[in-house]
Structure 1
Amino acid sequence: MWSLVVVGAGATLVMDAWSIWLRLMGVPTLDYAMLGRWGGHWFHGIWRHQSIQEAPAIRGEKKWGWAMHYLTGIAFAFALACAAGPQWLREPTLVPALWFGAISVLLPWLVLQPALGAGVAASRTSRPWLSRATSLATHLVFGLGLFLAAKILA
């Protein structure tokens, strides 16, 4: 179990390094404070926003957002282990991790982005195809991170 926590956190760290690089290149990425703001509004029964940036701020939203981000990465590591079987963790291979990373992009496209006001697969943003490509690439990097973290542990 702890190994999956390490794999998920490690993969999320790889994804964060990628996101930093994207920001340095001028490509916008998700501000995890907005993820925390979204999560904070759940306690008030609000699950969907017209624009998360215009929603009232939540105390500690940045910390909540980063916690949600890493917990999601850890949950995805558990899901991959369930899908690929326990053997994958002992002998990790790249292809299942990349496939899982690619499939995991469905969560932001179908749940997170619509809930934050960006529409399905960022359809309400100014450059939806850039957002989609960035999301897919980021989740593929997350998949690579799953593989690398599992390989280091194995």
Structure 2
Amino acid sequence: MNKMIGFSLMVGIGSTLVLDIWGVLLFKMKGITPTNWGMVGRWLMGLRQGEWVATQQNVQSPSLIEKISGWSFHYLVGIAYAVILVLAWGTPFIQSPTLLPIILVGIVLSTFAGLMLFMPAMGVGFCGRKIPNQGNALLMMIIAHTVFALGQYIFALLYASG
């Protein structure tokens, strides 16, 4: 159990950090704005009032608690994907990680979850259909989730070697 917790924390936090560094690099080099996790926190806060879909009506900057909630959610989701790896492929995966599970969880599952759950919840429609230049946004999402999966693999290998 301790190995599963350690693995999940290291791989989840590490790969999410890799994704965030990728986002910063994209912003610095290409001007592509990263996800506003404060707005995600605002959506999370709205769930308590039964607001399942974020509206874009509140244009105020997210509050500190919304930012903390959004960023915490972001890292908890990264940890959850690491937990899924162990639950689906068993504890031997911790000692000997392989690439196929990482691809299935880190790229496929996380991309589909983003397209079919996260985007609709954030008010941009199923598969981001309300986003201007939807094709480019989808491509960037697949690239970002591939970077996330590479982070998962790197941190899984580091954990296995330690």
TM-score normalised according to structure 1 size: 0.91
Q: For residue 144 of structure 1, what is the amino acid of its counterpart?
A: L
Alpha-carbon contact 1:52-1:116 (below 8 Å) kept: no
- Displacement after TM superposition at 1:88 (Å): 1.5
Q: Is the 8 A contact 2:38 2:63 kept in 1?
A: no
Deviations 1:105-136 (A, max 9, x none): 11111111111111111110111111111111
- Per-residue CA distance 1:28-85 (angstroms, 9 max, x = gap): 3311111111111111111113427548955511111100000000011001112222
Q: CA 1:96/1:83 → structure 2, altered by over 3 Å: closer, same or farther?
A: same
Rounded to whole Å, the distance in 2 between the matches of 1:131 and 1:85 is 34
Alpha-carbon RMSD: 1.9
Q: Is the 8 A contact 1:7 1:149 kept in 2?
A: yes
The whole-number CA distance in structure 1 between the counterparts of 2:158 and 2:65 is 33
Give the drift of 1:140: 1.2
- Taking a change above 3 Å as real, the CA distance of residues 99 and 49 of structure 1, as seen in their structure-2 partners, is same
Q: Superposition pairs for residues 4-153 of structure 1, below 5 Å?
A: 4-24=8-28, 25-51=30-56, 54=59, 57=62, 60-103=65-108, 104-153=110-159
Distance 2:132 2:69 in 1: 27
Where does structure 1 lack aligned partners over 5 or more consecutive residues? none
Distance 1:17 1:112 in 2: 21
| Matched letter for residue 131 of structure 1 | A
Give structure 1 regions of 4+ aligned residues with deviation exceeding 3 angstroms. 52-59
Instruction: Give distance in 2, aligned partners of 1:113 and 1:55.
Output: 20
Is the CA contact 1:38–1:52 (under 8 Å) kept in the aligned structure 2? no
- Paired residues in the alignment total 154
What runs of 5+ residues in structure 2 fail to find an aligned partner? none
Q: 1:110 to 1:87 in 2, by over 3 A?
A: same
The aligned amino acid for 1:60 is I
What code does the residue aligned with 2:73 have? M
Query: TM-score if structure 2 supplies the norm length?
Result: 0.87
SS in 2 for 1:148: helix
CA contact (8 A) 1:94 1:144 kept: no
